[in-house]
Amino acid sequence: MDIFTLAEANLISPPILFFVLGLIAAFVRSDLSIPEAIAKALSLYLVMAIGFKGGVEMAAGDLNWSVGGAILAGIVLSALLPILGFGLLMLTTKVGRIDAAAIAAHYGSISIVTFIAASDAARFLDTPGEGFMVAVAAAMEAPAIVTALILAGSAARASNGAEGHGESRLSVFKEIAANGSIVLLIGAFFIGWITGPRGMEAVSPFFTDIFRGVLCLFLLDMGLVAGRGLLRNWRVLKPGVIGFGLYMPLIGALAGMGTGLLVGLEAGSLGLLMTLAASASYIAVPAALRLALPEARPAISLTLALGITFPFNLVAGIPLYFWLARLVTGTGG
Amino acid sequence: MDIFTLAEANLISPPILFFVLGLIAAFVRSDLSIPEAIAKALSLYLVMAIGFKGGVEMAAGDLNWSVGGAILAGIVLSALLPILGFGLLMLTTKVGRIDAAAIAAHYGSISIVTFIAASDAARFLDTPGEGFMVAVAAAMEAPAIVTALILAGSAARASNGAEGHGESRLSVFKEIAANGSIVLLIGAFFIGWITGPRGMEAVSPFFTDIFRGVLCLFLLDMGLVAGRGLLRNWRVLKPGVIGFGLYMPLIGALAGMGTGLLVGLEAGSLGLLMTLAASASYIAVPAALRLALPEARPAISLTLALGITFPFNLVAGIPLYFWLARLVTGTGG
Amino acid sequence: MDIFTLAEANLISPPILFFVLGLIAAFVRSDLSIPEAIAKALSLYLVMAIGFKGGVEMAAGDLNWSVGGAILAGIVLSALLPILGFGLLMLTTKVGRIDAAAIAAHYGSISIVTFIAASDAARFLDTPGEGFMVAVAAAMEAPAIVTALILAGSAARASNGAEGHGESRLSVFKEIAANGSIVLLIGAFFIGWITGPRGMEAVSPFFTDIFRGVLCLFLLDMGLVAGRGLLRNWRVLKPGVIGFGLYMPLIGALAGMGTGLLVGLEAGSLGLLMTLAASASYIAVPAALRLALPEARPAISLTLALGITFPFNLVAGIPLYFWLARLVTGTGG
Amino acid sequence: MQTSLKKRLEIIIEMPAVPRLEAVLEKAGVKGWTVLPAKSGRGANGSWSREGQITSAGRMVMVLVIIDPAVLDTVLERVYALLERQIGIVMVSDVQVVRADRF
Amino acid sequence: MQTSLKKRLEIIIEMPAVPRLEAVLEKAGVKGWTVLPAKSGRGANGSWSREGQITSAGRMVMVLVIIDPAVLDTVLERVYALLERQIGIVMVSDVQVVRADRF
Amino acid sequence: MQTSLKKRLEIIIEMPAVPRLEAVLEKAGVKGWTVLPAKSGRGANGSWSREGQITSAGRMVMVLVIIDPAVLDTVLERVYALLERQIGIVMVSDVQVVRADRF
Ligand SMILES: Nc1ncnc2c1ncn2[C@@H]1O[C@H](COP(=O)(O)O)[C@@H](O)[C@H]1O
Ligand SMILES: Nc1ncnc2c1ncn2[C@@H]1O[C@H](COP(=O)(O)O)[C@@H](O)[C@H]1O
Ligand SMILES: Nc1ncnc2c1ncn2[C@@H]1O[C@H](COP(=O)(O)O)[C@@H](O)[C@H]1O
Ligand code: NA
Ligand code: NA
Ligand code: NA
């Protein structure tokens, strides 16, 4: 499959088109909106389903060293990518030290929704990843934040003042690890692993059959939220920052490709690792940074991650990463 | 199939019975209630599913002139029915000019929920309509409002005062067109059209298989809301107005039948057009009229549309319209 | 099947594991949470589905005297168990008369969620109950409250003061009977009964296929709520009261077994009746008691029913009751 | 603009008792009120949150009532009679409104 | 702590009119506001509840605006002009804030 | 009816910081509070809405605290120390309550 076939197959799939519909509806100022409770429930469902399925696949496959390698690769990527991102932002844009660190944290961490969309696309593109990639995704959430806090450095420490001392990096790390979506992802993964294919049989109409349809509804919401975020806050995004939101995913994906090849991932899992490295968090990290780095302006990083990078990855990035992953692993025609 | 068989098949179907359960629960003052976020989500799901399915059918069938004819028929019906409705209200009831115009707008426009219930019933009754009827439904939402504003005439203009001048009919038209459910209906229709049967395959467990079950839950809510609306506001409905809520659907359906025959619709689509013409809006129009015609009392039109006409159409109207549609097109036994 | 096989099959089923995940997430202070609207909708869906299925089974089976016997057995259990519970609480704990009556009301009445989980487990364990057990469950909700009000006796009457006189036991009974979940359960049961297998066919993807998956999501929520309730209020639970929350279900189950054998229930239905008798209400009764017995402290009874007895029944009680039910009816290997 | 003084009554009360409070208000001749949802809270009766809850017991809402100062005492007494038995608190403050005759 | 006097404007208004109210506030130079949801209510126009509703007509929200006393009259007049046509009520009360320059 | 004067503290604060605010209140000895949801709003940090959101960042809630005037200054200072770093505003007003000992 050449890249155009992949790109087209991705583009004219219902989930992506519903995302685009959401963007359009936001731009034409339609009052279409998904209630907050529903958006949260859809994301919980998707996380639960993807975690569970990953676990069931783990139970079906055999546990080997490559799993450990992949998780380690993920942690290293998440911990080191923020340094690269931070440097690029300080060099090419005028955002301050704190904001640069905050943005870098988003890009080092991962977007679980992008991961879910990529997993679905992977199936669609006939290159499904392996079950353990769920564990890799979970492992990549937190390290980036710790790096970013170190990068924010003295500036943050000073502003935290007296009370700030109580706020150790460990506590931030804990806070992220107890984040609802991560607990659910890991928990569902283990439940899938424990119950295996027999457990899946009992719940597959809910967790598998309707999955892609639910994803459509959820991506419609993401399109609405991303579009409205852009409309509200595009002014805070300078061209240099927008550029960063477009090239940083590519850099992340390449870093992910290199690391993934090193630990011997096959095409599907490699594509997923590249997507993870390319994606920017907009659920767990924004909330955690409001506490760990309150001086950072959330409008910048959130708008960039959700309004620029997420659509880019969804529409163009994912087929590109999977095409590359197939190419370098010599998979498919 | 004679009308009694049709009526019975409709009446003892789970969706209708859950609607009746909702009515009963409201009347016995049960505290049963569906959270607002869920009711909104259910309606979004149903609109999305019906739009998508319509689009997929468009992709499967071949595009021809009858589509344009049907859409035109719908627009004409929506634009002209309010004149009839307004005249009848002014002649037979004591509601004022503004309220009469407001009520007429509801009856010229369409109830997307009634359309969804009718589409489902059509399948149940083995006379499914064609995919393009979704486009007809969308086209019929707005014209009625413009007519109604003209009918409300000088009274409305005067009360709008200085600021009212800014409020052109065009802006009201735009507002309706950007209404969430219409954008979603049209968007999902195009997505279905673009992705076609292949797209449907991927999402049919969500958009097709569970559709009727979700409709049951939604109609339960509609029954609760309609019943409680009646309990709260029956005092505002004078007998003449209640009568209008019962005979206007029949007049609309007959007008729909005539127009539909003119443009050559087959039984299923004709039944749907009749239902559209017979139905009264209670999502988009009430909200739009609060801005365009704030002097109208919403309790009257909303209670009439949701408390009288909707149950009437759902329980008695739909089987009647489909029986007529089959009769005049010479379909079935 | 011996008890260990049953216990294991129950324990490693996805629904139970998601409940445990919810408990763990609460205990590690994760911010994982299900929005209130979703939790309510999930419970409505489950009640609707279980009622509908019960009704469909009624339509398929033949109506006979055992149905009446089972309903009568349920009413007697619900009316008399609170006396036993009240006596035990007054003898073995230091809770006051009013609180003892309130707790006893919870344990005489039933937990519809426990019933749903047990119905699902029954299918899993190949001993499904009969459809009419839904009617038994509905019949058991209210009688316990009346008994409890009588037990609360003069204390309550005095504190109700002048206004309290208006508050007859009948009105409390009516309030419970109009409770949303009971109306929905009974309504869905009759709809299932009326539409029968043909109606089920039309909606089974929604009401049957995805049922167990939805149950997983709901039990995750129940785990979260139970865990957080315990964290918040464990201080109000003295050891004697906790003990009551663990042995009262066993007493209830045995009483249920005796009564069920008397009216000739078969294994599946007997297991369900035992579960009903063993379970403690935490939806309808707590709300009703806030009006009927406002002096009772809700923290005690709610925490006990949801934090202690529900997890106990779910994890250990249900397999035990079904094992016993199979044993005494001589079912299975 | 011409405004006139009214009293603002705010009642934080457990959800199951709201219909009773409304009956009390209606009986006392109050013409209007608004019920606002609450998310979570803490008090003498412990802490609560609406997240994930399926029962209305143990949760609060806030009922806002604008009334004429002349009827404040009557209304307050009746509301307080209810709140002596149900969980909840009452606050009273001053407020200016535009169309005085509506309250 | 150093606090300064501001005015607290609370507007209970039907949902479809909220964008208009926001436009009015923006035009009047108001720097900030918060929209709070409401659950149910009663008034001269009858009672309403948001339970199960799919239309925004006939339902209320509460818009809270903290403004400087100096601009109160201008803002109030414009808001009231809107409320003469839309369903809703306005209340004004006193409030102390810490960072006075922000309002 | 016998009422006594208390202070009504209202804090509109970004959601991720609510647990911290609650910790601050608890430390300051405050006995009770209520958290009210908000739908949308605007301020110096831009506008926000809770519609469709899956992150708690960039969204506000309102925390209502009734306290004794005697402790107002202490509480206000601590709350303000938190709000210097987090997004949010504080208002203080007077309120009358019935059972004075409860606050
Ligand atoms: N001082 C307070 N300020 C604001 N809300 C309060 C206060 N005290 C109690 N509440 C609210 O009223 C509810 C019941 O109060 P209580 O009866 O003290 O538990 C609490 O759960 C809070 O939501
Ligand atoms: N006296 C009042 N106190 C509090 N809220 C009120 C009052 N009167 C009216 N409201 C609210 O404002 C809405 C519209 O009022 P009305 O125009 O009188 O129907 C009502 O539905 C209530 O939500
Ligand atoms: N003047 C105001 N009146 C009411 N709410 C306000 C006001 N200013 C700010 N807010 C609320 O506080 C939030 C944060 O304010 P800010 O830090 O100014 O962006 C806003 O998003 C509003 O929800
Ligand atoms: Na990344
Ligand atoms: Na019509
Ligand atoms: Na029981």
Q: Is residue E66 within 6 Å of ligand 3 at its C-beta?
A: yes
Which ligand sits nearest to residue A106's alpha carbon? 4
Q: What does pLDDT average to over chain D? A: 94
How far out from the chain centre does Cα B280 lie?
A: 5
User: Token pair for residue B23?
Assistant: 């009515």
How far out from the chain centre does Cα B17 lie?
A: 20
Task: Return the half-sphere exposure (C-beta side, CA atoms, 13 A cut-off) of residue E89.
Answer: 25
Of E15, E47, E50, the CB nearest to B232: E47
Q: Which of C244, C266, C248 is nearest to C257 (CA)?
A: C266
DSSP B165: T
- CB-based burial, A50-67: b 16+ in 10 Å, e otherwise: bbbbbbbbbbeeeeeebb
The pLDDT tens digits of the residues spanning D16-63 come to 999 999 999 999 999 999 999 999 999 999 999 999 999 999 899 999
pLDDT of res. B168 = 65
Percent of residues, chain B, with pLDDT higher than 90 = 80
For residue D93, CA distances in Å to A32, D65, D101, E40 come to 39, 11, 19, 22
pLDDT of res. B333 = 53
User: Token pair for residue B163?
Assistant: 């600021």
What's the B211 CA to ligand 2 centre distance in angstroms? 39
Q: Is residue E32 within 6 Å of ligand 2 at its C-beta?
A: no
Q: What is the pTM of this model?
A: 0.96
What's the A127 CA to ligand 4 centre distance in angstroms? 21
Average pLDDT over residues B309-317: 96
pLDDT reading at C154 higher than 70: no
ipTM for this model: 0.95
Is D50 in the E-facing interface, judged by CB distances under 8 Å? Answer: no
8 Å CB contact of A21 and B191: yes
Residues in Cβ contact with A130 at an 8 Å cutoff, skipping those fewer than 6 apart:
A57, A61, A266, A268, A269
Average pLDDT over residues C309-318: 96
Q: Which of B46, B54, B35 is nearest to B216 (CA)?
A: B46
Q: What does pLDDT average to over chain C? A: 91
8 Å CB contact of B203 and A216: yes
Whether C and E touch (3+ CB pairs < 8 Å), yes or no:
no
pLDDT reading at B159 higher than 70: no
pLDDT of res. E99 = 78
- CB-based burial, B275-301: b 16+ in 10 Å, e otherwise: bbbbbbbbbbbbbbbbbbbbbbbbbbb
Q: Is residue E12 within 6 Å of ligand 2 at its C-beta?
A: yes
The pLDDT tens digits of the residues spanning D33-45 come to 999 999 999 999 9
pLDDT of res. B157 = 55
The pLDDT tens digits of the residues spanning C281-304 come to 998 899 999 999 999 999 999 999
pLDDT reading at E96 higher than 90: yes
pLDDT of res. C162 = 40
Chain E nearest-CA distance from F7, in A, is 11
The pLDDT tens digits of the residues spanning B62-98 come to 777 789 999 999 999 999 999 999 999 999 999 999 9
What is the distance between the alpha carbons of residues B192 and A21, in angstroms, rounded to a whole number?
12
What is the distance between the alpha carbons of residues E59 and E52, in angstroms, rounded to a whole number?
12
Q: Is E95 strand, coil or helix?
A: strand
CA E12 to ligand 2: nearest atom? 12
Which ligand sits nearest to residue D49's alpha carbon? 1
User: Chain F contacts of E24, Cβ < 8 Å?
Assistant: none
pLDDT of res. B178 = 84
Q: Which of B206, B185, B183, B215 is nearest to B52 (CA)?
A: B185
What is the distance between the alpha carbons of residues F10 and F13, in angstroms, rounded to a whole number?
9
C54 and C135 Cβ atoms separated by less than 8 Å:
yes
Neighbours of ion ligand 6 (CB under 5 A): C 110, 279
Residues linked to residue D8 through DSSP beta bridges, in sequence order? D66, D93
| Amino acid of residue C199 | G
Task: Return the half-sphere exposure (C-beta side, CA atoms, 13 A cut-off) of residue E81.
Answer: 15
Q: What does pLDDT average to over chain B? A: 91
Residues linked to residue D96 through DSSP beta bridges, in sequence order? D5, E92
pLDDT of res. E102 = 76
Average pLDDT over residues B150-166: 57
B278 and B319 Cβ atoms separated by less than 8 Å:
no
8 Å CB contact of F46 and A233: yes
Average pLDDT over residues E86-102: 90
User: Token pair for residue D99?
Assistant: 């169309």
State the pLDDT confidence band at C138, using cuts at 50, 70 and 90: very high
pLDDT reading at C161 higher than 80: no
The residue nearest atom 7 of ligand 3, judged by CA position, is: E32
pLDDT of res. C163 = 44
Neighbours of A118 (CB within 10 A): 32
pLDDT reading at B176 higher than 70: yes
**What is the C-alpha radius of gyration for chain C, rounded to an integer number of angstroms?**
19
Q: Is residue F44 within 6 Å of ligand 3 at its C-beta?
A: yes
DSSP codes, F46-96? EEEE-TT--S-TT-EEEEEEEE-HHHHHHHHHHHHHHHTTSSEEEEEEEEE
Pocket probe mutation, ligand 1, options F10, F11, F30, F33, max atoms within 8 Å of Cβ: F33
A7-16, B131-140, C192-201, F75-84: segment of lowest average pLDDT? A7-16
What is the distance between the alpha carbons of residues A271 and A257, in angstroms, rounded to a whole number?
8
State the pLDDT confidence band at B307, using cuts at 50, 70 and 90: very high
Q: Is residue E45 within 6 Å of ligand 2 at its C-beta?
A: yes
pLDDT reading at C168 higher than 70: no
Neighbours of B14 (CB within 10 A): 27
pLDDT of res. B166 = 44
pLDDT of res. D10 = 98
8 Å CB contact of C199 and B13: yes
Residues in Cβ contact with D59 at an 8 Å cutoff, skipping those fewer than 6 apart:
D14, D15, D38, D48, D50, D53
What is the distance between the alpha carbons of residues C194 and C60, in angstroms, rounded to a whole number?
11
pLDDT of res. C177 = 79
Neighbours of A35 (CB within 10 A): 23
Determine which helix (DSSP H) or strand (DSSP E) holds E4, and give its type and residue range. strand E4-14
Percent of residues, chain C, with pLDDT higher than 70 = 94
Neighbours of F1 (CB within 10 A): 14
Average pLDDT over residues F36-44: 97
Mean pLDDT of successive 10-residue stretches along chain A, which has 333 residues: 83 94 97 96 96 94 84 97 97 96 97 94 87 95 93 62 52 79 96 95 95 97 96 93 98 98 95 98 92 92 96 96 95 68
Average pLDDT over residues E74-99: 94
pLDDT of res. B167 = 57
State the pLDDT confidence band at B161, using cuts at 50, 70 and 90: very low
